[in-house]
Structure 1
Amino acid sequence: MKIHQIRNATLIVTYAKKRFLVDPYLADKDAYPGFEGTLNSEIRNPRVALSTPMEKILDFDALILTHLHPDHFDEAAIKLLPRDKPAFVQDYSDAELIKALGFTDVRPLGIETTFEGVTLSRTRGQHGSEQAYVYAAELLGNVMGVVFRAEGENTLYLAGDTVWNQMVATNLEMFKPDVIVLAAGDAQVPGLGSIIMGTDDVKTVHDAAPTAQIVASHMETVNHCALSRADLQAFAEVNGMTDHLWIPADNDVLEF
């Protein structure tokens, strides 16, 4: 298994010799305004340029879209992505939206969806607290994670844009992943709080799955992410997590 951190939540996961492009956010630096109503909304997005060549990003076997927020699937990705590659999405609603953009092989994920020797399982998550969903459910929307399994490979749990909650705890207990990718940038919406994981949630995941290797993604790219890689590394050192927490820079490749 190789996890190539591209930028933000964009990854290339090489698993059982298949390359999965996850949540492509492909625009040039500063292409978009900051997200209205979020922390540091005056800062333009993406905050950093891509450091991976586009031809490498577009060399993939299948696409995975955990949800359709514009920092996971943007206008640049819509223009650049090939239309004929398999695209896995969380439900039939997202599938119809992707098909309307001209993608010809769109597949909603199920409990066990197979793709060329890889079993992909949709998991549930929640893009913010219960209170946040009381006030902004439509804005936050539905999100998914994905568990990857194949013979001879470690089990990978890509949690997606979620905070710690019982759904994540259930996923850890059910699948017992060896490697966990977390959206760990602590994105903030004033009045609603964190809408992805921050330091405390990362530690809670580690405490719940103490032998798993955790990869921190979705950091230092969009205006409302409050947690830096340096601060997460310092937190990990204080809390004895450094042997199990990886914080890749953009374009780093991890192998498990």
Structure 2
Amino acid sequence: MRIHYLRNATLLIEWNNKKILVDPMLGVKDSLDPVPNAANSIRNPMTDLPLDDDALKQLLSSLDAILVTHRHRDHWDVTAQAILPKSIPLFCQPEDEAVIREQAFTQVIPVVTSVNWENIEITRTGGQHGTGEIGKMMAPVSGFVLKEGNTTLYIAGDTIWCEDVVAALDTFRPGYVVVNAGAAQFLQGDPITMTAADVIKTIRHATQPKVIAVHMGAINHCFLSREALREAVAAEQLSAIIPEQGEWISLS
């Protein structure tokens, strides 16, 4: 298995000759309005994809499935809705099924608990996209666990460190964990994605797995940088994979 980290939370997972695109945000730099009620008004995405047009077309034509953790526009943008192939399997949380079908996708598969696809078991997990009233407003969100044989990958989705994450780690004991960092935050309230402290808690709790931290450097309300996260993790004498855009991650 290997993962091609594209941008924000957008990943290409290659697993036993299958290609799964996770949380596609495929628009060009500056194609989306800023996230409102944030500390700046920078347009999104703040970076381009690490693919030229031909490479993107080749990628889209080679896909076997799409996985959307939730429909916030930095995970499912208008460009993705327009250019992704409409007839391949698309896995999502049940709350998003109807809208995605209205967007002309014909093989939408809501994951209530778990489904089996091409010998890969896909199980939905919970998450908490912030605290208090903001957390309620940002809901619902989901994570997903992909398992085949002895290999298990947990994609936590847009969540802070919470009991849902603890439960997923304890229940599935994944070998690899993808967390959405960035410490995204509005002018009011606490962060709505993982802070450096949250990532460190994940690493400490998941002593065996490799933790891969993404969701940084592309959206205007994400204030935790890759560099700052690397420094925070190193200061605790811990390790994590914090990829740059376009980087390939090989997982044994």
Kept in 2, the 8 Å contact 1:16–1:117? The answer is no
Kept in 1, the 8 Å contact 2:39–2:186? The answer is yes
5+ long unaligned stretches in structure 1? none
Q: Distance in 2 between matches of 1:71 and 1:111?
A: 24
Amino acid at match of 1:66: T
5+ long unaligned stretches in structure 2? none
Q: Distance in 2 between matches of 1:241 and 1:254?
A: 19
Partner of residue 79, structure 1: 82
How many Å apart are 1:135 and its aligned residue?
Answer: 4.7
How many Å apart are 1:33 and its aligned residue?
Answer: 1.7
Q: Distance in 2 between matches of 1:163 and 1:157?
A: 15
Partner of residue 48, structure 1: 47
Partner of residue 141, structure 1: 139
Instruction: Please list the CA deviations of residues 31-70 of structure 1 after superposition, one character each: whole Å capped at 9, or x if unmatched.
Output: 1221111232x10100001112312441210010100001
Which SS does the other structure have where 1:181 is aligned? strand
Kept in 1, the 8 Å contact 2:112–2:124? The answer is yes
> Under a length normalisation based on structure 1, what TM-score does the superposition of the two structures give?
0.93
Runs of 4+ in structure 1 off by over 4 angstroms are: none
> Under a length normalisation based on structure 2, what TM-score does the superposition of the two structures give?
0.95
How many Å apart are 1:17 and its aligned residue?
Answer: 2.6
Q: Distance in 2 between matches of 1:101 and 1:30?
A: 23
Which SS does the other structure have where 1:148 is aligned? strand
What is the count of residue pairs matched by the alignment?
Answer: 247
The answer on 1:150 being equivalent to 2:144 is: no
Partner of residue 179, structure 1: 176
How many Å apart are 1:136 and its aligned residue?
Answer: 5.8
Instruction: Please list the CA deviations of residues 99-135 of structure 1 after superposition, one character each: whole Å capped at 9, or x if unmatched.
Output: 1111100000132210011000000001112x2xx25
Instruction: Please list the CA deviations of residues 198-228 of structure 1 after superposition, one character each: whole Å capped at 9, or x if unmatched.
Output: 1000010111111210001111000000011
Partner of residue 31, structure 1: 31
Q: 1:191 aligns with which of 178, 184, 188?
A: 188
The answer on 1:203 being equivalent to 2:210 is: no
Q: 1:249 aligns with which of 244, 247, 251?
A: 244
Q: 2:63 aligns with which of 52, 60, 65?
A: 60
Instruction: Please list the CA deviations of residues 211-255 of structure 1 after superposition, one character each: whole Å capped at 9, or x if unmatched.
Output: 21000111100000001111111111111112xx00111111101
Q: Residues 136 and 162 from structure 1, CA distance in 2 versus in 1: closer, same or farther, beyond 3 angstroms?
A: closer
Q: Distance in 1 between matches of 2:13 and 2:220?
A: 25
Kept in 1, the 8 Å contact 2:2–2:248? The answer is yes
What fraction of aligned residue pairs are identical, expressed as a percent? 35
RMSD of aligned C-alpha atoms? Answer: 1.2
